Structure 1
Amino acid sequence: MGDRMLQEKQQLQGEILAAKRQLSELRQELCVASTQRDLQKNIRHLSHLPIFDRSLFVERLIQDMSRAQRDKRMVAVLRFSLEPYRQIQDEYGHSMAALLLRTVAERLKLQARAGDTVGHLGENELRLIMPDLDNAQAAADFSARMTDSFAHTPLKFGDREVFVQAYIGIALYPLDGVNADILLQHAEIALCHAKEEGLCSMQYYSVRMSDAAGLTFEDVMQRALECGEFVVHYAPVRDLADGRICAVEALIYWQSPEQGMLSPSQFMPQLEKLGLIVPVGAWLLDTVCRQIALWQNNGLDSLTVSIHLSALQIRQSDFASLFQTVLQRYGLARNAAVLELHVSESLLMQDLDTTAGVLQALKEMGVQIGIVDFGTGHSCLNYLKYLSVDTLKIDPVFIRNLPHSREDAAIIKAIVTLGQGLGLKVVGTGVEVAAQLAWLRDAGCHEAQGDFVGPPILPDAIAEILKCV
């Protein structure tokens, strides 16, 4: 009897265990069903989120880069890699992993600005375009907000909560690339370095990260000088009285082996920041003076050529002496008036006494002096009485909205009146359409410059244009 009771007890225990297993399986099925219902509900809730695919994302990036080039702004591309994406995919399936991606995208949209663009790059990567930036700090601030949000606020999946860690790689237009594909590639390189740093890390792209370069920016610039990667293009300036090309502005371009042809705005600010503008500026001055001598030998001796001087160049104690040496080297000392040296209004205000002294020494050599970006300074106009200035160049920001902006029109008329009263030449810059050119002519501007007048071109093309006049 004892054996039978033992058997019945064991059988009962087996039935209880089987019932527990069935109950556990039922609960798991109910949990999965609930999770799937929540998943579908959340996916429907998030379906309004615009997450661009690659082609649309690249198209938007190209548009933002074009506007940034026009407005002299920056664009940041951020690439996000998420963890534990693969763990979620393995445990809950592809649909749940997709929900993770869209939930993170929603957080990006909530933190991003109205004009930012979210895109889906790969199975566990998102990307973001931040256009119209003054500097790189905005991208760093956004990355910090996102990593902090991920670290302190979990994402909910059914009855579970998951903390997400993100790696972020950042590339900046125009410093890290002027081509959309190159910019995305550099953001990916930065992302790889962020992953090496550890969870919740962010990295900017730098030239050091590129296996193809393996050099610092200083090394790259030295290579560019030694290998002849810099070229000078000349932007034509039109006389508004007779329509002829009366002058050109020398602009330095960089034929980068990695990124192609870069315009001045895409690398000169970094040169200035790192102090590399001094050797590059010296090369530009020598190259331009040599070109002027060549033009004069071919009968083009009435063309005025302007060069922009940086703050670091002006502050060199021996700059005036170095400049005079270059003039003598190319036989321009007796006809230095063909050169017009430009300084920005903001530079004048940084150290007026020093700058005025250098400009006076240059003026005594016979060169002309021009002030660029005129009208954007935050100072009085008292300095115009003491500086031997020949030209005022109106900043493009005042011309961009002509002829429709009454405010800009009033400012330009005031500058023209000021210039005429002081006997100065007034030049409108950034002219993009015929209506702007006509308005400047009617307002009394002497000369105009911009894409409508003609884009910067090589010296041989300038010579051909002048021969045809």
Structure 2
Amino acid sequence: MAGTYNEVLVFFSLLVAVLASYTALDMAGRVATTEGAAARWWLAGGALAMGLGIWSMHFVGMLAFNLPIPLGYDLFITLYSMAMAIASSAFALWLVSRPELPTRLLLLGAVLMGAGIALMHYTGMNALRMQPGIDYDPWWFGASVLIAIGASGAALWIAFQLRRGHRRHGLRLLAASVMGVAITGMHYTGMAAARFPEGSWCGAAREGGVPADWLAILVVVVTVAIMGIALIVSVLDRQMHLRTHQLANSLAQANEELMQAALHDPLTRLPNRVLLQDRIEQAIEKAHRKQERFAVMFMDLDGFKRINDAFGHQAGDALLAEVAGRVRALLRSQDTLSRLGGDEFVLVVPTTDPEDAAVIAQRIIDSLVAPIHVQGVELQVTASIGIAVYPSDGRRERDLMAHADAAMYHTKDNGRNGYTFFAPSMNVSAHKQLKVLTDLRRAIERNELVLHYQPKFAAPDYHLAGVEALLRWQHPELGLLSPASFIPLAERSGLIIALGEWVLEEACRQMRAWQDEGRAVPSVAVNLSPLQFSSPTLVGMVRDVLVRHRLEASCLTLEITETTAMRDAETSLDILDQLTLMGVHIAIDDFGTGYSSLLYLKRLPATELKIDRAFIRELESNPEDAAIVASIVALGKTLNLRVVAEGVETAGQREHLRRLGCDVYQGYLLGRPVEAGQLARTPLDAMPLQAVG
């Protein structure tokens, strides 16, 4: 009997074969990339989906075949052929999930899988239970088996190659199409081998077999559903794994960045204080174990503050980065260079002899001889270095750091731009400074701080124009201390802000007291440190102090240095504008010693320019100083600013300033700083006459 084919079902069988192949490739990737119980579950689910797909293709292909007799299928034999397809698929997935797939194993797998598919096909054909039985052409039969083996080999090789291709969807679809055509070709070659004798009849159709039409619908729906669900689950699982992997990578990168930020200086990318401490402790442990030595070198840049104040923080940061780069270029891989903050650097250098540390220190000093160009400006810094050697100068990290720091300050005290090895005698000075700083922290609560007030007199009649509040410390053991003995320590420790707040509070309190007593003190001037001026709470604190003491804002003059005002000109302008809107007067102190831009200077809302005492000291004998003072006075007049000369100590200086047109005079000639009580007991209207003499 001659058979015919339903073209729609033939085409559909090809689609099922391609879908089954794509599912097989995807499942191979899932099995290969998972471990343990998950891999076993994917193997079982993949074998079921893949096996059902291959079997479904075969069965749809058989349903596409029509004979001029009724056809049916034996349910048991049909299920048995399906089990063979699932078993073959499980073997294939297991095989391609191996770490390696050598040629010998590939050929063996192709033979076994091809035999399994051929057995599934011919078992499925036997489900018709044809009477008499089907005859098979041996050539076509052999060709179908060879095609099954060849298709299986190709499928195994392609699946092994693409199993980890997470994003090769186009290549996987092309491979699935090739595999689908091969599997379909095997099926229809096998069908071509079948010979149905005349008068044959289908035993399954007569004896309770499953009708072909009903079975076709069931097979197609169930198979497509199972393969679709498997693919959807696989895709979703793959996406979840990809996102989990991306999240893990992002978390690892974020953790690395956090560790980098936590242990390194953000400007120079050098180890910070935390990492430095760990490196020194590791060096101590290693040196103790191997009986070795190493040096801790504390380095501070000379003149950095002046550059930072004059050119701004951006120039200062660029300078620090360049210095760090130059020093780092001199070091070996086992050396550690760290930045503690500001212009302080620390080196940890393994050494067999202290002279090695001296050589490195000298190289660093020499490397900074060449000028540094920043923002079009040529800058020059030097370095002061202190060296402490383990174990002779300390066996603990804290001791080594403290001794290297003490040695560095000894270098600064002896002219800077050099290095000094620690000596025990340096501890005496360091301990003295530490004691002074400790006492200073308690000075406010113990009421040991006092203000002295120096009067300022205005030309031409030398009437009292105001007073300047000057801080003194009545130390219980050391006596009355001037600011020079403790203000630098306060600035380095950050205590200067608390001292500045106390000075402002006390000056305004005293001003209120003078007003309540009827004393005609026009105003009080208070100096602001650079750190205090940059504090975000400054404007609010000034406002609160004035309200608390019921003072007009015009009674208060705040003095800032020229370098402080120019350090960050735009920010300074904003702060000064807020203060002047309140009514507070602004004076530019130490004018002429810093670096000013006339463009910004004319925008500063200042009312006074104070000529630094360094220019007044040799005013009578030094023509250059005289010319500078004359220029400052002229500039002040041009900008409508009151010009104040400080440090006036001789009648000649006063007379010279008078001829130049100076507005206000301050100095020992006219009045020394005194306590508030002494100033209050002096007849204020008589002071100018006595001062003028």
- What is the TM-score normalised by the length of structure 1? 0.55
| TM-superposition CA deviations, 1:229-275 (whole Å, max 9, x none) | 10000011111210222211000101112211111122112211211
**Corresponding letter in the other structure for 1:311:** P
| TM-superposition CA deviations, 1:108-165 (whole Å, max 9, x none) | xxxxxxxxxxxxxxxxxxxxxxxxxxxxx98979xxxxxxxxxxxxxxxxxxxxxxxx
Matched, 1:226 2:449: no
What is the alpha-carbon distance in structure 1 between the residues aligned to residue 651 and residue 541 of structure 2? 41
CA deviation after TM superposition for structure 1 residue 302, in Å:
4.5
Query: In percent, how many aligned pairs have the same letter?
Result: 39
Please show how residues 353-364 of structure 1 align to structure 2 within 5 Å: 353-364=570-581
Please show how residues 292-307 of structure 1 align to structure 2 within 5 Å: 292-307=511-526
**For residue 553 of structure 2, what is the aligned residue in structure 1?**
336
Q: 1:235 aligns with which of 454, 468, 471?
A: 454
What is the alpha-carbon distance in structure 2 between the residues aligned to residue 461 and residue 232 of structure 1? 12
**Corresponding letter in the other structure for 1:203:** M
Q: 1:464 aligns with which of 681, 688, 691?
A: 681
Kept in 1, the 8 Å contact 2:467–2:521? The answer is: no
SS at the partner of 1:454?
A: coil
**For residue 416 of structure 1, what is the aligned residue in structure 2?**
633
Please show how residues 386-425 of structure 1 align to structure 2 within 5 Å: 386-425=603-642
SS at the partner of 2:442?
A: helix
Matched, 1:327 2:546: yes
Q: Structure 1 runs of 4+ off > 3 angstroms?
A: 137-141, 204-210, 215-218
Residues 315/139 of structure 1: CA separation in 2 closer, same or farther (3 Å cut): closer
Bigger helix fraction: 2
Residues 276/416 of structure 1: CA separation in 2 closer, same or farther (3 Å cut): same
What is the alpha-carbon distance in structure 1 between the residues aligned to residue 484 and residue 463 of structure 2? 27
What is the alpha-carbon distance in structure 2 between the residues aligned to residue 209 and residue 381 of structure 1? 44
CA deviation after TM superposition for structure 1 residue 207, in Å:
6.3
Kept in 1, the 8 Å contact 2:593–2:612? The answer is: yes
Matched, 1:271 2:528: no
What is the alpha-carbon distance in structure 1 between the residues aligned to residue 467 and residue 555 of structure 2? 10
| TM-superposition CA deviations, 1:390-430 (whole Å, max 9, x none) | 00000111111021211111111111111111110001111
Q: 1:383 aligns with which of 580, 591, 600?
A: 600
Kept in 1, the 8 Å contact 2:562–2:596? The answer is: no
Kept in 2, the 8 Å contact 1:416–1:426? The answer is: yes
**For residue 428 of structure 2, what is the aligned residue in structure 1?**
205
**Corresponding letter in the other structure for 1:411:** I
Residues 460/468 of structure 1: CA separation in 2 closer, same or farther (3 Å cut): farther
| TM-superposition CA deviations, 1:150-206 (whole Å, max 9, x none) | xxxxxxxxxxxxxxxxxxx99x99xx9xxxxxxxxxxxxxxxxxxxx99x6551534
What is the alpha-carbon distance in structure 1 between the residues aligned to residue 480 and residue 385 of structure 2? 26
**For residue 508 of structure 2, what is the aligned residue in structure 1?**
289
SS at the partner of 1:303?
A: coil
**For residue 55 of structure 1, what is the aligned residue in structure 2?**
none
SS at the partner of 1:258?
A: coil
CA deviation after TM superposition for structure 1 residue 380, in Å:
2.2
Kept in 2, the 8 Å contact 1:390–1:425? The answer is: yes
Residues 365/218 of structure 1: CA separation in 2 closer, same or farther (3 Å cut): same
**Corresponding letter in the other structure for 1:226:** E
| TM-superposition CA deviations, 1:311-350 (whole Å, max 9, x none) | 1111111210111011000001xx2111110000011121
What is the alpha-carbon distance in structure 2 between the residues aligned to residue 242 and residue 281 of structure 1? 33
What is the alpha-carbon distance in structure 1 between the residues aligned to residue 457 and residue 674 of structure 2? 15
| TM-superposition CA deviations, 1:251-305 (whole Å, max 9, x none) | 0101112211111122112211211111111111110000000001111244221
Kept in 2, the 8 Å contact 1:247–1:305? The answer is: yes
SS at the partner of 1:205?
A: helix
Kept in 2, the 8 Å contact 1:207–1:217? The answer is: no
What is the alpha-carbon distance in structure 2 between the residues aligned to residue 207 and residue 260 of structure 1? 20
**Corresponding letter in the other structure for 1:457:** V
Higher RCO, 1 vs 2 (CA within 8 Å, ≥6 residues apart): 1
What is the alpha-carbon distance in structure 2 between the residues aligned to residue 451 and residue 369 of structure 1? 23
CA deviation after TM superposition for structure 1 residue 220, in Å:
1.2
CA deviation after TM superposition for structure 1 residue 442, in Å:
1.2
Unpaired stretches in structure 1, ≥5 consecutive residues: 1-136, 142-168, 177-196
Please show how residues 427-438 of structure 1 align to structure 2 within 5 Å: 427-438=644-655
SS at the partner of 1:227?
A: coil
Kept in 2, the 8 Å contact 1:245–1:466? The answer is: no
Residues 396/258 of structure 1: CA separation in 2 closer, same or farther (3 Å cut): same
Matched, 1:252 2:471: yes
Unpaired stretches in structure 2, ≥5 consecutive residues: 1-382, 388-405, 414-420, 687-693
Please show how residues 15-26 of structure 1 align to structure 2 within 5 Å: none
- CA RMSD of superposed structures (Å): 3.2
| Range with greater deviation from structure 2 (351-360 or 223-232) | 351-360
Residues 209/392 of structure 1: CA separation in 2 closer, same or farther (3 Å cut): closer
SS at the partner of 1:226?
A: coil
**For residue 126 of structure 1, what is the aligned residue in structure 2?**
none
SS at the partner of 1:326?
A: helix
Kept in 1, the 8 Å contact 2:454–2:673? The answer is: yes
**Corresponding letter in the other structure for 1:329:** R
